[in-house]
Chains A and B, each alone.
Chain A
Amino acid sequence: MGISPGWDGRLTNNSEHSLPTDAELREVALTRDEYKRATDLLGRQPNQIELGIIGGMWSEHCGYKHSRPLLKRLPGDGDQVLIGAGEENAGAVDIGDGLAIVMKIESHNHPSAVEPFQGAATGVGGILRDIFTMGARPIALLDSLRFGPLDDQRGRYLANGIVGGVAWYGNCMGIPTVGGEVSINKCYRGNPLVNAMCVGIIEHEKLTSATAKGSGNQLILVGADTGRDGIHGATFASVDDPEASHRGVVQVGNPFMEKLLLEACLEALQTNTVVGLQDLGATGLTSSSVESAGRGGGGVAIQVDKIARRADGMSPYELMLSESQERMLVVAKRGDVSKLQSVFSRWGLHSDVIGEVISTPNLEVLDGDIHVASIPIDMLVNAPTYSFPVERPRYLDETSSFSKDLIPDVVDPTATFLKMLASPNIASRQPIYQQYDHMVGTNTIIAPGGDAALLRVKGTEKAIAVATDGNGRTTFLEPFVGGASAVAEAARNISCTGAVPIALTNCLNFGSPEQPTAYYQLSQAIDGMAAASTALGTPVISGNVSLYNESDGESIWPTPIVGALGILNNLEKRCQIGFACSGDEIAVLGAGTPELDGSEYLSVIHDVVAGIPKLVLSDELALQRLVRELISAQLLASAHDCADGGLAIALAESAFAGGVGVRAESLHTKHRIDEMLFGESQSRIVVSYSSGAGPAVAAAAATAGVPFFQLGNVGGDRLLIGPIDVALTDAESDWTNGLRLALAGNA
């Protein structure tokens, strides 16, 4: 196919437009000012199709118009960084041996609130495409989820639907879902969060760019036929019938087709005929073609009449903006198209040439011989950016003036402990991750249930560790610390396996940036993330932003989620969370006084969300270095990050994982019992080691300047933790069933 020779950058039928109404502008998510700006940049009034394209490209989702200035604050440089944030569909880091890891996390919150199963499933589908677009083979998925309370029917429907959707897509693709997190709070009731992270592996020289360059090279659209999926506000889309309202429909995923796409694309890349590869995500063909052209420095011409479609009567507007899933745009060397198409058809995939790279740096859209849109690429990829006024939220005055003296200390520590263990935020996550195939690929050395997952890298002695973390409550109470601790915790989880954290990805789930208080939270959290990333030496190589997370006028807790990647050079020198041997000693490494501020305990037992969470980055760095050094010296039998629920819960989790009890009855405190047992200060790790290793561990801690407290021993069939005394199996059964029953509506 060629572009009709007659086109000259002038539009057919572009003469008389009336100014769009406010409602029409709202449909394409543009302000009146943005409309004026678009008119100025174009030198004429945009037509309706162009307006839709500009609106899509200038949306927060594609253009990051509200967050771009803030994202610049995140450190992105590092020796190992091969592809940094914002350059391609995902970031890439070197892991040695000529190999690179490609990774990214992305949200699918709003679609999941509408249709939880398909919303979550297509979220997984989208992040997978971002990874294999780079030529990498996806090797692991993680999912970070936030739900509303499970004691109402709708909450369970959303939670089970979301988990089911993640499971369906990942399982069918054969990519193991090896980690993630789940947290429940009423702020997520109407707006659950679904963040999916994918990690892929590739040889450096095979990294593929999503670039459309080389005038005359051809654009192939491969995969699913295009339907009206996910098109928003196309009410005036149909040029013929401006009244027709072709509302978009909810996207339904097809992991089977995506599996074929994955294999076909990786095979196609071997043929040396691919110039660039780009998945179709938000705004579909529009952003994928425009962004590829933007990277290539030229333009693209799209012939919409060549697009295979699933529905009748689709307009050029709909074809350009459809978000039908499981589609890829391949930029093929001119003349090599048939070679590529034969690869696709062998995999049972339909493909069409739908356009070509042109030298004029424009997006030209043609429908047969009608020229329907012509917009400079430059103006599309450079969305206007905004910063908003920030205002410290007033609630902070109240939450920060919290005093623990208002709360009575625990009366029955064992009962409180069991209640904590069974609470849905602490109970075992197995009811969720057992629905995920976490073993396919035969690389999973440490499966979900530990701190970070560990995957071997076949053909080397190495392993990679991956984890996601984020704490909405902490961020709500102290946004800077919330951002910083998401980084610290993700990295700490990595360190507990022995791996060195080397890079991060992040997903920023916040409320409306137009609210000065929400913008304050966003800005502070990013500053916190930046500070922690710098301190821990972990550059941010990719990420995603999801704003306007609110329902019924209430914003969610600000929830930055961090995905971390670590590298372990010698797989044999790894550590896991379970206590291993009766008689081993148990100690906690790290920071001093545990505090109740912002703890799960305060929330579960006293229904209080208050206090000022704290984090000292230098302590965190020293702690993580120490634990890696101890693991590498093979001094530790277990290491487990002390997080939600504090020390008592961390000890219990290590005991359950090891199937052996704890003898720490002599543990006592000068302070409050609840603080000692359930207080949650950052920067603590529970470790165990043979008694012979005790002096070496203590000495290393002293050298590192990291506090070291011996707690007791591994052994027996009870959990004896200070005043807590309960049979291991009883405690374990509460912990095992807590979330299971809640999800089943039997809590």
Chain B
Amino acid sequence: MKAAVVVFPGSNCDADTLYVLKNLLGIDARYVWHGENCLHENTDLVVLPGGFSHGDYLRTGAMAARAPIMTAVRNHAAYGKPVLGICNGFQILLEAGLLPGAMLPNTSTQFRCEWVHIRVESLETPFSSTCRPEQVLRLPIAHGEGNYVIDHDGLSELQDQERIVYRYTTAEGIDSPDANPNGSMDNIAGICSSDRNVVGMMPHPERASEESLGSQDGLTIWESVLDGMGD
């Protein structure tokens, strides 16, 4: 399997993501520069990592979403191949229109870095297929704008098509308002495209893939995609 980690100016979880893919999972993972026009040949997986692309100026993800590489990412997605946007990567996918909705500042209007729990709501994506139904994962978040919004019809569509992939919950798996760290609608922590191959999520699975970092729950997300590739 071949994975591409896209590097935008201001990406800062690119190295962490590559480390997990390459060093922990043994995947042939490489960086791709935002200014490139194409991905490496035979790329299976594209990951848009976290960070502050273009300083998060104007709107998070806005400028990165218009980078040359995004045309290739769009094509990759159109072929039904998996694309994962983590944190800023999720914001970029929204700005690029690859996922519906938009991100607003957290209701606290502060950056929050802490451990949260998310419940896996759909197993029908490349990034959740090996999870147990309603499995609760413990992952870190680190963002100032994770307050997901979408209009009423859009939300119904996400709900009806079971495209909400992860919701913030308590450790016991209850999606109460207290468990929501940023005010996002319907406790949404991650969603997928209508073709289900493009997933955006705010929590950082790459920060929870080793026991010494406090959790290995992120591995299930990576293992899902490996499993889907038949690797």
Q: Which chain A residues have a beta carbon within 8 Å of chain B's beta carbons?
A: 164, 167-168, 171-174, 254-257, 259-260, 347-348, 433-442, 444-445, 456, 458, 571
Contacts and interface: CB of A to CB of B under 8 A. Distances in A.
25 contacts: A171-B111, A171-B144, A173-B12, A174-B12, A255-B55, A256-B57, A259-B9, A259-B52, A260-B9, A348-B9, A434-B114, A436-B113, A437-B111, A437-B113, A437-B142, A439-B113, A439-B140, A439-B204, A439-B207, A440-B16, A440-B50, A442-B16, A442-B19, A445-B212, A458-B19
Contacts of A171: 52, 111, 113, 142, 144
Contacts of B212: 445, 456, 571
Contact of A259 (B10, B111, B144, B207): B10
A172 B10 contact: yes
B134 to A, nearest CB: 25
Contact of B10 (A167, A256, A440): A256
Contacts of A174: 12-13, 51-52
Contacts of A433: 113
B51 to A, nearest CB: 6
Interface in B51-69: 51-52, 54-57
Interface in B155-214: 204, 206-207, 210, 212-213
Given A172-B55, A439-B142, A442-B16, A167 B111 contact: yes
Interface string B1-27: 000000001101101100110000000
Contacts of B142: 171, 437, 439-440
Contact of B52 (A256, A435, A444): A256
A117 to B, nearest CB: 13
A444 B55 contact: no
A320 B209 CA distance: 49
A378 to B, nearest CB: 41
B54 to A, nearest CB: 6
B213 A435 contact: no
A582 B50 CA distance: 39
Contact of B55 (A167, A254, A435, A456): A254
A571 B212 CA distance: 9
Nearest to A164: B110
Contacts of B204: 439
A438 B112 CA distance: 10
A713 B9 CA distance: 53
A458 B18 CA distance: 14
Nearest to A255: B55
Nearest to B53: A256
Given A440-B13, A440-B142, A445-B212, A435 B19 contact: no
B54 A256 contact: yes
Nearest to B35: A346
Contacts of B50: 440
Contacts of A347: 9
Given A172-B10, A259-B12, A442 B207 contact: yes
A342 to B, nearest CB: 13
Contacts of B207: 439-440, 442
A1 B10 CA distance: 32
A169 to B, nearest CB: 10
Contacts of B20: 442
Given A259-B52, A442-B19, A571-B212, A435 B10 contact: no
A456 B56 CA distance: 29
A166 to B, nearest CB: 11
A435 B12 contact: no
Contacts of A256: 9-10, 52, 54-57
A280 B204 CA distance: 35
Contacts of A442: 16, 19-20, 206-207, 210, 213
Contacts of A173: 12
Contacts of A440: 12-13, 16, 50, 142, 207
Contacts of B140: 439
Contacts of A434: 112-114
B151 to A, nearest CB: 30
A255 B113 contact: no
Contacts of A348: 9
Contacts of A168: 111
Given A256-B52, A437-B142, A442-B213, 7 more contacts: A171-B113, A254-B55, A255-B52, A256-B57, A435-B113, A440-B207, A441-B15
A260 B9 CA distance: 7
Nearest to A348: B9
B51 A435 contact: no
A262 B144 CA distance: 23
A485 B186 CA distance: 51
A439 B113 CA distance: 8
A439 B212 CA distance: 12
Contacts of A571: 212
B212 to A, nearest CB: 6
A445 B204 CA distance: 16
A168 B16 CA distance: 20
A437 B51 CA distance: 11
Q: List the 6 closest A-B pairs by CB distance, nearest first.
A: A174-B12, A256-B55, A172-B52, A437-B142, A442-B16, A437-B113
A325 to B, nearest CB: 13
Contacts of B113: 171, 433-439
A441 B17 CA distance: 10
Contacts of A164: 110
A433 B142 CA distance: 11
A435 B206 CA distance: 20
Contacts of B51: 174
